[in-house]
Amino acid sequence: EISQDEIYLYIGDFGNNAGNRTNLKVFKSAVRASSSNSALQEQEIQFKYPEQTAFNLTNKKTNFDGEAIIFLNGKLHLFTKEWSSNGTTHYTLNPEIFEVQNAEKQEVFKTNFMVTDAAYFENQLYLVGYAKNADVYLQIFTKSDDDLFFTKNSTKYFLGSAFTIGQIEGVAVNEEGIFLSGERFKTAISNIPPKLFFIPEEKLK
């Protein structure tokens, strides 16, 4: 997962399908020099979920997996991929702390799908993911004044089945519309190649 601010690129290394990782981190790398950062260097933002107390190997059963992050108003915002609860939890990190920090829990939402990516554009949060039956969804939330997203009504779109469109793992948004990327999805009955989709902004109205 990847996000950025005016100076830094943030690369997430917190995928945790098995639920047993204890070395979650985000790489912070300057992509442009500033007065406070003359050398383009990389640092690690290390974190843990304070609610996670067990680290047993439980492949695809954990609620502490993660694939989605955005940068907003000086903080990193993470959205978990929850295999058991089938929802997501919004956490924040301080990108200026480089010792292990506790991710701060903000809010919880029952998406009924597992979140695989997030994008933020013009006060709206875009989450994509898939359900266990391979149905793929996009859900759009509006930011509140306190940088929360789950306090207002949202709009949810069914995009299709991973058996036909692939496993949607990425989303990016600009003024033209929404870009979605799908990984190869191979099963005993289908073999869908990687794909890139574009949804024009006016199609969502």
pLDDT average, residue stretch 140-165 = 96
Confidence band of 74 (pLDDT split at 50, 70, 90): very high
CB 29 within 8 A of CB 42: yes
**Amino acid sitting at position 142:** T
Confidence band of 201 (pLDDT split at 50, 70, 90): confident
Which class for 29: exposed (0-12), middle (13-18), buried (19 or more C-beta within 10 A)? middle
Q: What is the pLDDT of residue 125?
A: 98
Confidence band of 36 (pLDDT split at 50, 70, 90): low
Dihedral, CA of residue 179, residue 181, residue 182 and residue 183, to nearest 10:
180
d(CA 78, CA 68): 6
Instruction: With 0.85 as the threshold, say if the pTM is over it.
Output: yes
Task: Please compute Rg for the chain using Cα positions.
Answer: 17
pLDDT average, residue stretch 92-114 = 97
Confidence band of 31 (pLDDT split at 50, 70, 90): confident
Q: What is the pLDDT of residue 146?
A: 95
pLDDT average, residue stretch 163-180 = 96
Under 8 Å CB-to-CB from 205, ≥6 apart: which residues? none
Q: Which of 103, 55, 61 is nearest to 85 (CA)?
A: 61
